[in-house]
Amino acid sequence: MLFNSVNFFIFFGSLTLCYFALPYRFRNLFLLASSYFFYMFWNAGYALLLLFSTAASYGFALLIEKAPSKKKKRLLFISSLFFNIGLLFVFKYLAFFATSIQAILKFFAIAVEAPTFNILLPVGISFFTFRTISCLIDVYRGKMEAERNFCVFALYVSFFPSLLAGPIDRAVSLIPQLHARHSIDMPRICLGARIMLWGLFKKVVIADRLAIYADSIFNNVPYHTGPSYIVAAYFYTLQIYCDFSGYSDMAIGCAKILGFDLVQNFNLPYFSTTITDFWRRWHISLSTWFRDYLYIPMGGSRKGGGGIYVNLLVTMAVCGLWHGASWTFIIWGVLHGCCLCLSRLTLNFRDAVYQRLQIPSGVVSTMRVVFTFNLVAFLWIFFRANSVHDAVYIVTHFFSGWPNLFIDPLSLFHGFLGIVVLVCVELLQRLSPKHASPEQWPLPLRWAAYYALALSIVLFGVDGGSQFIYFQF
């Protein structure tokens, strides 16, 4: 059941009415059943996997908290990590590692027949696994008590707005909200609906329109030329942002209507001034997860020297692997890690050069935003390409075939139109956040904007309810 489908809006509308009509003591149980019903729309069998993962993590959390000694607590904690990571490995990475090992052995002339694993990737497994792992780590560290109520814990893991593609909320912030009583709050419901409307617009009017052109290039790489690759790279850069931030907006809006506050997942990432700044603004719930549970435990930037750069590279390589069982994702992560290292190494030097040349701060900031955006757009090629060969082919043929550009007039027109709307809105949010909020606008202007968004979705939105990109992760 996709957020951008009629079925979902029927489901969510019915759920909201029933949720607020029910007595408080039954609401969490109703939300839990509804979340599993929502998940079973994808594959009913994998609801059992979700339940199994949840029950095991719930038990581990209680055992870790009650452990009589530090040694036993540590042993239980490590066991819980092995269980969750092992579950993720089997369903997401087993086939990839088997074929990779086979390829390595073949390189050394060792013939080994890799077993065939026909395992369907459960939707959202990376997200709900990271949610349970963060909870277990926080219980182990003493940052929170283990949740005793299984229904509440299971709802934290499976909460339907963020189940399939995040945000990856921490138990310490979401579980207390699940214990709270939520009443009908019309201003809050209106805010949630407005956030959902903007998210839906970004998905079906901008992302899905850009995808028509970008997919036609990336899925037929040998038949196109440099100009087409460049346009497709920029289109995909904005497509993945509008697709994923659109999902996040709709998840946050759904939760807000029901009375819950999910963590912010995007903060104008394409206005970042450095690659480090980009990762503070892009997929915030994931980047902070890796920071708190991998980068800092490895030593972070505390030890100084080369250790910082090793930690950055390892963290970003794991981040790339988290996104998918493919070398394209790993290379994308490693390249981001290299860029983070170079940015850190050269930041002071660059600042000194700008200061010595007496370049105005506004010009410097603009230059940095433009450079960072183009760097990120270039790296997205490795993320989107169907294979490493395709990615290398694209980046080595940027200057081929000029000025021949693949023209799909309707896709290009709709694509550029959507980009103009996005840039105008986000420029307003960056330059004047106060005036960017519709609540500050005159009532006629506000409703004109709402009707314009709704009409655009109907007239220009792509039909068919295409899947969100991050569902595959």
Residues annotated as part of the active site: 323
Q: Are 150 and 158 in contact (CB under 8 A)?
A: no
Q: Are 266 and 199 in contact (CB under 8 A)?
A: no
Cβ atoms within 10 A of the Cβ of 35, count? 22
Count the helices and strands in the chain (H runs, E runs): 21, 0
Compute the C-alpha angle 134/251/169, nearest 5°.
Answer: 15
Residue with tokens 């026909």: 118
Cβ atoms within 10 A of the Cβ of 49, count? 16
DSSP 284-300: HHHHHHHIIIIITTTTT
30 is written with which tokens? 């109703």
What whole-number distance in Å separates Cα of residue 155 and Cα of residue 178? 8
Q: Contacts from 95-101 at CB under 8 Å and sequence distance 24+?
A: 95/119, 95/325, 96/325, 96/326, 97/325, 100/327
Q: Are 250 and 200 in contact (CB under 8 A)?
A: yes
292 is written with which tokens? 């708190």
Mutual orientation of helices 150-158 and 171-179 as an angle, nearest 10°? Answer: 120
What whole-number distance in Å separates Cα of residue 2 and Cα of residue 11? 11
